[in-house]
Each structure stands twice: as C-alpha cells, then as structure tokens.
Structure 1
Amino acid sequence: MTILIEQIENGAQAEEQKTLTITNDLVLDGGFAEPKEASNDGFLAPEINAFGHSFRDYDAESQRQKTVEEFYRLNHIHQTYDFVKRKREEYGKLDKIEMSIWECCELLNDVIDESDPDLDEPQIEHLLQTAEAIRKDYPDEDWLHLTGLIHDLGKVLLHPSFGGLPQWAVVGDTHPLGCAFDESIVHHKYFEGNPDYHNPAYNTKCGIYSEGCGLDNVMITWGHDDYMYLVAKENKTTLPPAALFIIRYHSFYPLHRCGAYTHLMNEQDKESMKWLKIFNKYDLYSKSKVRIDVEEVKPYYMSLIEKYFPAKLRW
C-alpha cells in the first residue's frame, strides 16, 4: 500500500524536496541504524494542504482559520506551569483504562483536531497516512513506521473515557512553561492573558531552567504528545529512545521549525532531533484527502504492535 500525492514540479519545489530529505549520520541505541536518504521516487511533499493553502498558514482565510485561532487563544491563556504539573500527576497514574494500541487507534475514528489548519479528517486517517508515507521511503525501518502510527494516539484524551479534556488541553503546537514565551509561537499575542506571562520568575530566556539542562527537565504544555510518551514509557515499550523523543516533541514546532529554545537542549536531545526532523516531513506533508484502506494495512501494523508493545497497555 502506497500513497500517491500529486505534485507540481518546478525548481523551487525540487530544492525544497532536496532540503527535506537530507539526514545526518546517527546510530540509535540498541543498534537501530539511521534510515538511508529517501529515493527520488518516494513520498513527495505536496505544496498545498487539504484546503488548497500552503501548510501551517494560520492566517489563510479558510473555513478552519477562525476555529484554529480561537483554539490558540484558549490554549495560550489556560496552559500554565501549575496546570501542566497537575495534569502530569493525574494522568501519569495511567489508571483510566486498559486496552491495546489498535483499540486506541479505533477510538480516534471520531476525533478531529481543531488546532490543525491543514486537515479535518478523522485522526486515524492521519495516523495511517503518516505511517504509510514513512513506510514507502524507509521500508526496512519498522520502528519508524510504528512511531508514525502511534504518535498522535494521546489525542484519546478528548474521549469521554479519558475525562473528555477540552481541545486546548490536548492538541496544538507545544512550548515550554517556566520561561519566556518565544515570539515564534503561533498567535503569540494571546499569552498576555496567561498568568505565567506576568510572573517575573517565568519571563526570562531561561526562566527557572539553566542552559543545556535537557528537555526532559523542562515543563512542556500538556497534551497528547506528553501523554502518549508517558503511556509508551511506563508500559515498557521496546521502541528505541529516538521514537520516544519523536512522540514527545513532534508538536514542539517552535523548536524544530524555528530553532527556539535550543539553549535548553543537551547533547542527547540534539542527536534525537535529527530523527525528529526526518519524521516531521511525514507528519506534516502527508495530510491529504487520499484515503488509506485500513483493513489492507492492519495486519502489518498489528505485527509491529506485537513486536514493540505488550498486548494490553495501561492508559
């Protein structure tokens, strides 16, 4: 099963594609070798999203624009350091339900991410689009395929079984708390309504942290990224460390798209970032109206789930 996405070919597009597929030499812990550079006939990043606009254009006039901006207004006001601390303690207990990875995938059938300006399809479509696009380019790296499938499973926090958290507490771009809000964060103007914005301890470059402290020691806004990271880690997944880094920080766009907050990273973060940049191409540019035959690909992903996860997980 492959994904075919039409693309307008021109010089600028070719240069963009060349930039997106460059990788760095890296070997993962546990002997997972870095994927080779994608072939020329592999997945091609389209120029426009499902609405006909350039990707991540938060100002484009579309049926989604107003919904997305209102989402970020609420997100920036309510995501505080204390709020995230409480949520990590609450959901870190993993006492909501026991279920398999695939059962969780199926729970996402009715979930639409209101923060996303590029797509309004159910989330399971995005998971499979991402995984299949990676699989097309890197057929031998099964851990990366599975990471594509599960990276957004934390969005089940929107489901009533998990407390039905509001969208602003589950989805959207993430950023650190406890230090200044970088100007690169989308819809930055709404931070003026956040109590942390007026706390002197939190409004300097490093805030309560120190340079090079490592992202693991930084409080990031609460949502599906951090939750799925906790689920995978505490359920003893055998996925490599880079997979957990991708799951935890794939929505941290100020970092991996704008270069903000790099002063907080340690050396391990910088190594794992190489993998996140590879993954990000597929997470972002696979969003299209192309449909995936779920039943056709399900056996393959079930085999990967069995390889890297227990049959039932605590959530």
Structure 2
Amino acid sequence: MIVSVEKPNATQAKSAEQAQPDANKLVSNDQFTVPQNNAFGNTFRDYEVGARTDKVEQHYKASHINQTYDFVKKIREEYKKLSKAEMGIWECCELLNEVVDDSDPDLDEPQIQHLLQSAEAIRKDYPNEDWLHLTALIHDLGKILVLPKFGELPQWAVVGDTFPVGCAFDEFNVHYKYFRENPDFKNPKYNTNNGVYSEGCGLDNLLMSWGHDDYMYMVAKENGTTLPQAGLFIIRYHSFYPLHKHGAYAQFMNEEDKKNMKWLHVFNKYDLYSKSKAHVDVEKVKPYYESLIAKYFPAKLKW
C-alpha cells in the first residue's frame, strides 16, 4: 500500500531554489589525493586488464544489445509508479550491503561502502557543502533494482555507463562494438547523430538508458527532496561517462546543463577515485548522514 508523502511547502521549495550552489565560488580544503591504482592494482576504468575484465565485458555486451528506445520507454513507465516499497533513505542504504556492481572494474565491495567512501572524501574537502555529502551518499541507491523486492532486474538494466537511446550510439561508449547487435543500430529513425532529438534540447529531454541513475533521480524528485538542482543533476548523470569524460552527445546540452556539469566534474573525482578496500565505520558516521537525510528528505519515500 502506498501512502501520501509530505511535499515541501512553497517556502521550502523557494529556499531550495535560492540555495542553488555556484561552482565558481566553491571553496575546497583539497585534502583528497587521487590514487594511482584501483583496489586490484590496475589503473581506474581499465576495461582491458584485471580479474573482473570478462565479467565487465559481458555486462556491457548485454546492456548494449538490450537497451533499446522501446525497452527504456516501457520500463520507465513501469517504475515511475513508485509502487515497489515505502522506506527511508538510510533503510535503503543498508539494503546495498547485498549488492556488488558487476560493471565496476575498480571495486567488488558491497555498495554501501562505496557510498560512504565517496561521501566522506567529499565531506573532508568540502565541509560546507552538506548537500554534496548527501548526494554522494545516495547517488547509487537505485542499485536496489537488482534485489527481488524491486523487480530483480538484470545488472545490465541497473548499473554501468549510461547513454541516450533514440540517437546514434557514440563510439566513446565502453565496448561500443556490441551496439551493432542492438535493433536500434540500423533503424533510420534512431541512428542519426541527433535521432529523435534536436541540438540544445537539454539533457532532461533525452531518454537515457535505464538504470540506477534515472531511477534514483525519479525517486528523489517525486518524493519532494529539497536538494538543489545540481544534486539531482549529479544523481541522474553521474554514470554518463561518454559525456562528462569524453564530450560525446554534448550537442544536446543547454546552458543549465553546462552550469551543472561543473558540479558533476567535482563529484566525479570522489565517485571514481575514493573506491578502496579500507572500510568506513558505518555506525560512527551514521548520525551525521541521518541528520542530512532529515534536512533534505521526508522520513518515508515511495520507491
């Protein structure tokens, strides 16, 4: 059964809008040192070497073949009902103890540790940006989609780099070769540079490959979070590596996207390079993050 969720009032919404952060005024302690190698001793995001290479490649093969325009439209319609569960943010964090990301060549730890590692690293460098700490904590919560209660989706429909469907697949996508087996690859409606979109239409108007990013964005927005827009942008596009690492699909960005991209670049360093085998003491940091959750979210959310 779904119960109504308390939405922020007009004053709260206006306050959140006025609090939209300015990346140009960001002050950092800059204590975080980017490591040379990942937890397995390899370079980060190396898809050619390492113990997880074969598993990761098979993941992307399945993703690139199955993530079609029609598939994404259909599954997004299903999940926007937010009818799978009702629970708080921290309760969801704890569920990620059961999830390991098959698409990640850099870490094979339960996902709750990745969330806390990235959040704590950002907290040290940007102590005054509490919304950014919380964004780091929750950015991957959508990975609960692999669990039975939330549909038990295959990992190719939950994790990994994201990309738009409905236009040509860019060669900067990891393991691009497997797109040739996607039905949309030869469809003249979808295989041109812009496809069904227009230049400058804004990223919000793109249909992105389905996964944890879009799902968590949907959950946060529909449950009335007061996180600034930059936080929602990070949640929705943090796996869109073809764009924020290589500049692919940039023709679709509008001015608001370009402003928010500055924040995504700040966040990405911590999301990627904080992964390690050194665990964060969950109980020690839990009270701080629970205070942030109470500040920016209702006690219970629809999922």
**TM, length-normalised to structure 2:** 0.93
Counterparts of 1:221-260 in structure 2, within 5 Å, are 221-260=209-248
Confirm or deny that 1:184 pairs with 2:172: yes
Confirm or deny that 1:50 pairs with 2:39: yes
Q: Which residue of structure 2 aligns with residue 19 of structure 1?
A: none
Counterpart among 56, 59, 62 of residue 71 in structure 1 = 59
Number of equivalenced pairs:
286
Q: Which residue of structure 2 aligns with residue 38 of structure 1?
A: 28
Q: Which residue of structure 2 aligns with residue 269 of structure 1?
A: 257
- What amino acid sits opposite 2:34 in the alignment? A
Alpha-carbon deviation of 1:37? Answer: 4.3
In the alignment, the residues of structure 2 paired with residue 83 and residue 30 of structure 1 have an alpha-carbon distance, to the nearest angstrom, of 37
Alpha-carbon deviation of 1:97? Answer: 0.5
* Secondary structure of 1:50's aligned partner: coil
Structure 1 regions of 5+ residues with no counterpart?
1-27
Confirm or deny that 1:210 pairs with 2:198: yes
In the alignment, the residues of structure 2 paired with residue 313 and residue 39 of structure 1 have an alpha-carbon distance, to the nearest angstrom, of 34
Confirm or deny that 1:120 pairs with 2:120: no
In the alignment, the residues of structure 2 paired with residue 251 and residue 49 of structure 1 have an alpha-carbon distance, to the nearest angstrom, of 18
Q: Which residue of structure 1 aligns with residue 118 of structure 2?
A: 130
Q: Which residue of structure 2 aligns with residue 161 of structure 1?
A: 149
In the alignment, the residues of structure 2 paired with residue 206 and residue 33 of structure 1 have an alpha-carbon distance, to the nearest angstrom, of 31
- What amino acid sits opposite 1:118 in the alignment? D
Structure 2 regions of 5+ residues with no counterpart?
1-15
**TM, length-normalised to structure 1:** 0.89
Alpha-carbon deviation of 1:213? Answer: 0.4
- Contact residue 167 and residue 195 of structure 2 kept, 8 A: yes
Alpha-carbon deviation of 1:238? Answer: 0.3
Q: Which residue of structure 2 aligns with residue 24 of structure 1?
A: none
- What amino acid sits opposite 2:46 in the alignment? D
Moved over 2 A (4+): 31-40
- What amino acid sits opposite 2:160 in the alignment? G
Superposed CA offset, 1:67-89 (max 9, x none): 00000000000000000001110
In the alignment, the residues of structure 2 paired with residue 50 and residue 296 of structure 1 have an alpha-carbon distance, to the nearest angstrom, of 24
* Secondary structure of 2:168's aligned partner: coil
Q: Which residue of structure 2 aligns with residue 147 of structure 1?
A: 135
Identity over aligned residues, as a percent? 69
Superposed CA offset, 1:134-184 (max 9, x none): 000001110000000000000000010001000000000000011000000
Superposed CA offset, 1:184-216 (max 9, x none): 000000011100001011111101111000111
Alpha-carbon deviation of 1:32? Answer: 4.2
Confirm or deny that 1:303 pairs with 2:291: yes
